[in-house]
Amino acid sequence: MAKTKLLIVTHEMAPFLELSKISEITRQLPQAMQDKGFEIRILMPRFGNINERRNRLHEVIRLSGMNIIIDDNDNPLIIKVASIPAARMQVYFLDNEDYFQRKHVFRDKDNVFFDDNDERSIFFCKGALETVKKLGWSPDIVHCHGWMSALVPAYIKTTYKHDPAFKNSKVIYSVYENCFSEKLNERLAKKAVMSNMTEADTKPFMDADCNAMHIGAITYSDAVVLADENIDNAVLKFVKDSNKPTLATNLTQDYDNFFNFYEEITSEELVSIA
């Protein structure tokens, strides 16, 4: 029987970048699934405060060289890779000089939210899917963690829905507590439109705040994980009203529950575990 292929898309992962509980989950979850026989790929941005020498990152020439278009601008995509020897897992890092090579992650030294965080998210989401295609790898499950990955479900279910790499993929979005109170650029929804999409497809993201990112991702996902106890009530209501299979917060501490959730989602019958 073929191994289940699991793609993890996240903006942070221990030990490379530890900002919130996401980093611990995205470190432990893929290893737990690998121990159960899953085939794993992990993608994250190469933020400037990730030490390349200490973490032994090196460029993957055969994957680099793509350009990601945002707002009619070409943005070079560099792919780097590092290994977690203890886990026998490789992590692919998406890099771009303009978007990621700065000393801070989402805010500057004065704690001001970067005004291009919208484009950084679009670049990461588009780049992640193009990287998977270039790997020649077709994930059975795409599990997105946190708001920066929120456009991935939308792209898979629109632009990439007939693409051999993703046409059979089930998409899961993990919702975490609101991590920013500001709004992203007001043109986010317009800039996020890809080929074979219209502005109607990105309408759920139009408010460009943290809730909109979550709700947009949930709209296009096949299933949802409530990964935090402090999720906004409007988002919780949207999840409930969506009737999508949901892994409840109190079940996320045990990774066996994720395994069962993945198994159900990839089977014919979808059942909510809540």
Is cis: bond before 76, omega within 30 of 0?
A: no
Residue 155's pLDDT is: 97
Confidence of residue 268 (pLDDT cuts 50, 70, 90): low
Mapping DSSP to helix (H, G, I), strand (E, B) and coil, where does residue 92 land?
Answer: strand
Which run of H or E residues covers position 220? helix 210-220
pTM of the model: 0.94
Mean pLDDT on 72-82: 93
Confidence of residue 20 (pLDDT cuts 50, 70, 90): confident
**pLDDT over threshold 50, residue 274:** no
Cβ(71)–Cβ(119) below 8 Å = yes
Q: Alpha helices of 2-51 — where are they, by DSSP H?
A: 21-35
DSSP assignment string, 76-137: EEEEEEEEETTTTEEEEEEE-HHHH-SSSSSB-TT-PBPTTHHHHHHHHHHHHHHHHHHHT-
How confident is the prediction for the chain on average, in pLDDT? 91
Of the listed ranges 162-166, 210-214, 265-269, the least confidently predicted one is 265-269
Confidence of residue 269 (pLDDT cuts 50, 70, 90): low
Residue 251's pLDDT is: 87
pLDDT in tens, 44-53: 999 988 888 8
| Cα–Cα dist 223/169, whole Å | 12
**pLDDT over threshold 50, residue 272:** no
Residue 87's pLDDT is: 77
Q: Tell me what percent of the residues of the chain surpass a pLDDT of 70.
A: 96
Residue 240's pLDDT is: 95
Amino acid identity at 132: V
Pick from 204, 28, 155, 219: which is nearest to 142 by CA? 155
Which DSSP symbol is given to 182?
S
DSSP-assigned beta bridge partners for residue 58: 81
Could you tell me the domains of the chain?
Answer: 5-266 (3.40.50.2000)
Cβ(133)–Cβ(162) below 8 Å = no
Residue 61's pLDDT is: 84
pLDDT in tens, 123-149: 999 999 999 999 999 999 999 999 999
Which run of H or E residues covers position 193? none
